[in-house]
Amino acid sequence: MKLLGNMKKILIIFLVCILSLAKAQNNAIQIIPQPVEVQKQNGVFQLRNGQNISFNKSEGRAVAEMLAQKLGTPSGFNLKVQQGTAGVIQVNIYDTPNEKIGKEGYILEVSPSKITIAANQSVGLFYGVQSLLQLFPKEIESKSMTSTNWIVPAVKITDYPRFGWRGIMLDVSRHFFSKEDVKKYIDQIARYKYNTFHWHLTDDNGWRIEIKSLPKLTEVGAWRVARTGHFGGRAEPKEGEPTPYGGFYTQEDIKEIVKYAQERNITIVPEIDVPGHSMAALAAYPELSCTKQKVFVNPGTPFSEWYGNGTFKMLVENTLNPSDEKVYEFLDKVFTEVAQLFPNPYIHVGGDECYKGYWAQDAGCQALMKKLNIRHVEDLQGYFMNRVEKILEAKGKKLLGWDEILEGGISPKATVMSWRGVKGGIEAAHLGHDVVMTPTTFAYIDYMQGEATIEPSIYAGLRTKKSYSFEPVPDGVEAKYILGGQANLWTEQIPTLRHAEYMSYPRAWALAEVYWSPKEAKNWDSFSQKMEKHFDRSDIANINYSKAIYDAIVRTSKKDGKIIVEMDSEIAGLDIYYTIDDTMPDRFSTKHNGKPLELPEGAITLRVITYRNNKPIGNLIILTRADLERRVGR
């Protein structure tokens, strides 16, 4: 009887192991961005101490060593790296290129006895490693040794990107981010197969790159008065007030960061924003403006008036003078040094939100317009951009700018970033320009990502599900003109890397899948399940992210004078509970049945919370009748 009892226990343990193994196989393929082809196989690979990682060609050595370090830190295993094809884990470059996967693609094969990553170039090996790491248990993200069962499900993955430009922009002008912060952010986006880091280095609020021939750009332009409070509502600087806030990157810093990015297959595209957004430059060199009046590096004051239809008026001059030859001499010096620091083909020159009111009142600009036989002051921007493009061409660089560069005419060689929706990108593509799609409506990850009464306030919202729905190639546009897409992180309200992470993720994960994965492979429900697994990984990696996708979505309308409330959620499987009787909602309160709710008269306060599996998961939302009235029709 005792023997039978022991056999029964052994059988139960065996069945538990089999079920655990099956669960690992079924749930472990949680890769973001979604690969082109995933074929599940039988069994799992077990990582063990002393196993070898091999590379067949010297170009694969750095990837093999990076993989050994990434696996070795959390496991504590000593994984030897060697040249050849004898490793249990192999990273191999094809002798004959595989045309299907192209430059950045890879084939990852996991069997119980071996892991092989094969690619045409080292960049493909790097991306294959990123997918492999996502197949390991979440503990792989630990920065110290941890204990778990280091298994990988058997699978064959064939993968390559849809778009060649997969970018994220970080604005370091509004708030300065240290060299180490920038490296950490580059590390994070490389994990999700982004290959372009657009570095917004200059604006009204700080000049962040050392230009040795123009030292005042960083001596003066990199620093501003200290202010707290909401950006855009801060007090004006005062004459003689200390300027302790800011910073800049030395040219040695830039070289270090460029090399760091290259090792992670990320191209850095620098932006020097001209002719508008130049207040920090003018604080250093006021003679380059029309009025030549002294200005300060702006700490976040209300320096413009916006009229709701896209037009605005600047209350402080922030624009370079297009009629002054000294401006082009200045830019030649700037772009000479920038071009030497960044090996990529592009320099981004901004061109957005250029206020031309000071140009219209300037005698030099009027004389230039007469000489050029142009009637509209807006056309001076076309003249300016053409001059800038010639400066860049002389340094072997291509001009890239926001979609306003189309105004006034630019050469067909210029590349356009479409940010004011997709309209500018469509127009540019029809004119034969290469285009990077980065519209506010899908890709501005500085916008609020959830309930406006909870999120840090900014003037617009963008939910993760909306970002995921983005299609970069509009109907009627030839796909060959769309280089890809980009997420933009403006930092007026983002003072720290921790908050930059909060605003980036999970929307940057959603856009990673938009830019990499096949259009037909996108599935929101599938993505949202993967996203939650990556929340767990981020927790272990100490990377911040937003949980706004768990919060209820509350919309209102009016019918016969009554407020009608509709409630929904971004992801499936959530229960929404609410009260209107001034009690706190929980799972015993009224459960939303999916139908519109008609609010009774009176001083009603709606309280809403989401649950999953009988446990609260979303934030409590509290909306007064006045709050609900204000959002009618939004």
- Report the number of secondary-structure helices (H) and strands (E) in the chain: 18, 29
Q: How far apart are CA 462 and CA 460, in angstroms?
A: 7
DSSP track, 30-57: --SSPPSEEEEEEEEEE--TT-EEEESS
Catalytic residue among 200, 277, 348, 433: 277
- Confirm if 495 and 143 have CB atoms less than 8 A apart: no
50: phi then psi, degrees, rounded to nearest 5: 85, -5
Ramachandran bin of 597, using left for φ above 0, alpha for ψ from -120 to 50, beta for the remaining angles: beta
390: part of which helix (H) or strand (E)? helix 379-394
Question: Which residue is it, tokens 């970069």?
Answer: 472
SS3 232: coil
Q: Which residues pair with 563 in a beta bridge?
A: 558
SS3 553: strand
Buried b (16+ CB within 10 A) or exposed e, 86-124: ebbbbbbbeeeebeebeebbbbbbbbeeebbbbbbbbbb
Packed helices 61-75 and 122-135: angle between N→C axes, nearest 10 degrees: 20
Q: How far apart are CA 434 and CA 59, in angstroms?
A: 31
Catalytic residue among 139, 236, 256, 353: 353
- Confirm if 587 and 614 have CB atoms less than 8 A apart: yes
| R_g over Cα of the chain | 27
Joined together, the tokens standing for residue 375 give 């009637």
DSSP classification of residue 457: P
Annotation marks residue 471 as catalytic: no
Joined together, the tokens standing for residue 36 give 């082109």
Q: How far apart are CA 159 and CA 127, in angstroms?
A: 9
Over 305-348, what HEC string results?
A: EECCCCCEEECCCCCCCCCCHHHHHHHHHHHHHHHHHCCCCEEE
Catalytic residue among 141, 203, 389, 451: 203
Q: How far apart are CA 106 and CA 224, in angstroms?
A: 47
Nearest to 115 by CA among 138, 93, 94, 87: 87
Name residues whose C-beta falls within 8 Å of residue 376's C-beta, 6 or more positions apart in sequence.
Answer: none
- Confirm if 266 and 196 have CB atoms less than 8 A apart: yes
Q: Which residues pair with 480 in a beta bridge?
A: none
- Confirm if 291 and 337 have CB atoms less than 8 A apart: no
Q: Half-sphere exposure of residue 386, counting CA atoms within 13 Å on the CB side? A: 12
Annotation marks residue 277 as catalytic: yes
Q: How many residues does the chain have?
A: 634
- Which residues participate in catalysis according to the annotation? 203, 277, 353
